[in-house]
Each structure stands twice: as structure tokens, then as C-alpha cells.
Structure 1
Amino acid sequence: MTESRDVENGGDTPAGVGVLLDFVNTRAIEGNCEEQLVDASSTRQWLSDSVIPFDGSLVTEADVLVARELRSALLAILKEHVGLDERDEAEAATAYLSRAARLYPLAAVISRAGTVLEPIQDGVAGALASVIGAGVQASADPRVWQRVKACKNPKCYKGFYDRTKNTGGAYCSASCASQMSMRAYRSRKAEQAAHSA
């Protein structure tokens, strides 16, 4: 599997991961970034600016809804990767992704350099197929796939690539880890105060 330079997500990441994380991270994150897929115009702009192959064609409001559904399904899988107890959500997401893969098919293009998955369709359908293809590529190697996660901080859930040696990373940044530690500390203190009262 080849690597690509992915500065936003911390350096070199295996092929497909950067595209996947860029797409998942188009959602609003409290105090950090705004929703990128607000309407047809903003979705078209994001697709045009992204590394996802997109011919600049018309984007409809229905396309925006489908893109958000795809993003939500991918996020549910990434949340499961950090142990969030979302079994029903992850199963529904897996079923959705299977249906989406049939709606937005890919073709295997074989060359001396290797095999890549390319969308069969153009426009938004092709762009969404590229996102699905990135997910397929990332998930093809379980050692890579288990490292593609969503931040465990419920105010964040940003997608990230876990670079820890033991794949035990649960937060996208030290800031999120610190916030969660402080919440846990305050919760323990409040519990202790309630028991001693």
C-alpha cells in the first residue's frame, strides 16, 4: 500500500486514509470548525477544493443529504474503532455503506504500479464513489483500518489516524485528551463529595 503526504492529519498516512479523514472531518466540530456541507453551493465548493476527483458539475440538495449520510455512516464506524458502545449504529452504518457501494460503483484499474479503485461515474456520484474507494483501500489492511478512528471526546469526534505504537490512541489531540481527563476528574470529585455528604 502506498503512502501519501497528509499534513492536516499528522504526516504520512497510508493511501486512502487522508481522503477518508478529510471527508469525515467536513462536519462541524464544537469550537473548532464549521460545517462544510451546508448546502449545494458549499458542498460543490468543498468537492472542488478537495483532492477527491470532481468535475465541478451541478450539486443538488439531494446530493448534500447523501453526502452527509455517507459521512455519518463512516463516522459511526470510526467511533466504533475507539470502543464507543455504538453497536447498533455501527451495524446500520455498515449496511448503509454496503448499499452505497452498490449505488456508487468502482472499477479496479490494474497497472504495473499496482491496482487502484476508480469511480465509474462522474460528478457527485463519482466523488462519493471515490470516498467509498478510500474507505475500501484503508480497510483492506486491518493494521491500517484499526488506526482510523474518531476522537472519543463527545464534543469533537474528529476523524484521525492513530500513530501510537499500541494503537491505543483515543483522542485526536492532547487538548481533547486533557478535556476528557478534566471531566473525569471533576466527575470523580463530585461523586466523592456526594458520598461523603
Structure 2
Amino acid sequence: MMTLQEEQSKAAPGALAVVQALVNTQYGQGRRAHRELTSPEQLRVWLVAHGLLAEGAPVTQGDVRRVFQLREALRSLLRANQETTMLASSIEVFNRYALDAPLTVHLHPDGPPTLEPDLAGVDGALARLVGIVFTAMTDGTWARLKVCRNERCQKAFYDTSKNRSGAWCSMAGCGSRLKARAYRHRRAAHPEE
């Protein structure tokens, strides 16, 4: 189990934390699986809580499917930050949402400009997410947002290591388990050593 300090150190900065939170609405397999947003009402509450949707805006089962599709495309794009190949299908999904995302530049007196959606509802929430990803890709923070290299986990984390070599959401959890598993495999392959 990750400590609060370790969890906070793995949080993405600024608005990118919303993308990280979306990806982390589902991760893991088996008894360690984490699932959120299993209904339109849960998605509505989540979007409102993250400032992506106005209170009382409707959310349909189709919206849930679209958000899940974007979430998994984002997870795949984050895998590419671990030096793997970007899947063309994930790029295609992201580009499809980007085409439907009318965004405008908004200047702020106390911070950098942001891309804001020109529409409301879930379509606006999806557009806002596209804008956050684009901004992170251009400001350099995107490359540090990754998914855990443990295939059974896939939780998004922000790599704060100096050399950008972070591979696991938690060294004490996934990192330790995978290193122990690799050690056991090496020992089984070469028992005479």
C-alpha cells in the first residue's frame, strides 16, 4: 500500500492531474482491480467533481462508452511514454475526439493560457480533456505521465525521477513484486548460480 506522501509525489501537476485521475478510474486485474464510473450517474458525479461538467447536466450510457474509449486510448498513449510504440488505433481514437473538440485559447492574468471548450455537456468535457493533453504534450509534462509497467496494474503515475526512468506506480508495490518475480525466473533458469 502506497503512503499518502508517495501517492502525492506521483500526482501529475495542474490540469494534467485530471487526465491521470480519469485513467485511474480503472486499473488492475483480478482481486486488485479498481473500477469506478460503472454508470452514467457515477460518471456525471465524477465529471462535476473534476470541474468538467456543470451540475445537473445529463449523462447517458453512450457518454459512458465514449469516456471509456477515450480513457483507454489515453492509457495506450501513456504506455508510449515508457518507450513502447504508440498504437495507431489509440492515435485514431484520440484524433477522432480532437476533431469534435472545438477549443479556444483563453488568457489568464495569473497563469498560462488554456484551451477551453466552446460547448457544454459531456462533449465539452471530452474537448477539455483533449485540450489538457495537447497542452501537456507541448509544455513537456506529458512525457512524465506514464502507466505502471506491471501489466496487471496499468495505473497512471507521474514520473518525478531526474532521469525520467520511473517504471512503476509504486516501488514498494508493483516494483518490488516485479523485481522479485524476475529474480525467481532467473534463479529457476540458472539454478547452479
1:107 has 2:112 as partner: no
Count how many residue pairs are aligned between Structure 1 and Structure 2: 184
**Which residue number in structure 1 is paired with residue 123 of structure 2?**
125
The gaps in structure 2 that reach 5 residues or longer are 1-5
- TM-score if structure 2 supplies the norm length? 0.85
Task: Report matched runs for 1:18-33 at 5 Å.
Answer: 18-30=17-29, 31-32=31-32
Q: Note closer, same or farther for the CA distance 1:38–1:128 as it changes in structure 2 (3 Å cut).
A: same
Q: Distance in 1 between matches of 2:161 and 2:145?
A: 12
Query: Quick one: which of 175, 183, 189 aligns to 2:187?
Result: 189
Question: 1:49: which partner in 2?
Answer: 49
Structure 1 moving runs of 4+ over 4 Å: none
* 3-state SS of paired residue (1:14): coil
Supply the RMSD in Å over aligned alpha carbons.
2.2
Q: Do 2:10 and 2:157's aligned partners in 1 also have CA atoms closer than 8 Å? A: no
- Per-residue deviation at 1:24? 0.8
Which residue identity is paired with 1:170?
A: A
SS in 2 for 1:110: strand
The separation in 2 between residues aligned to 1:29 and 1:12, in whole angstroms, is 18
Relative to structure 1, is the Cα distance of residues 35 and 158 closer, same or farther in structure 2, using a 3 angstrom cutoff? same
TM-score by length of 1: 0.83
Distance between the aligned counterparts of 1:180 and 1:62, measured in 2? 37
Output the CA distance in 2 between the equivalents of 1:42 and 1:185: 41
Is residue 12–residue 20 contact of structure 2 (8 Å, CA) maintained in 1? Answer: no
Which gives a bigger RCO, structure 1 or 2 (Cα 8 Å, sep 6+)?
2
State how far apart, in whole Å, the 1-side matches of 2:7 and 2:116 are. Answer: 24
In structure 2, what residue type is equivalent to 1:139? M
Superposed CA deviations along residues 53-99 of structure 1, whole A, max 9, x for unmatched, are 43431111111110000001000011111124x44x2x221121111
Is there any run of 5+ residues in structure 1 with no aligned partner, and where? 1-6
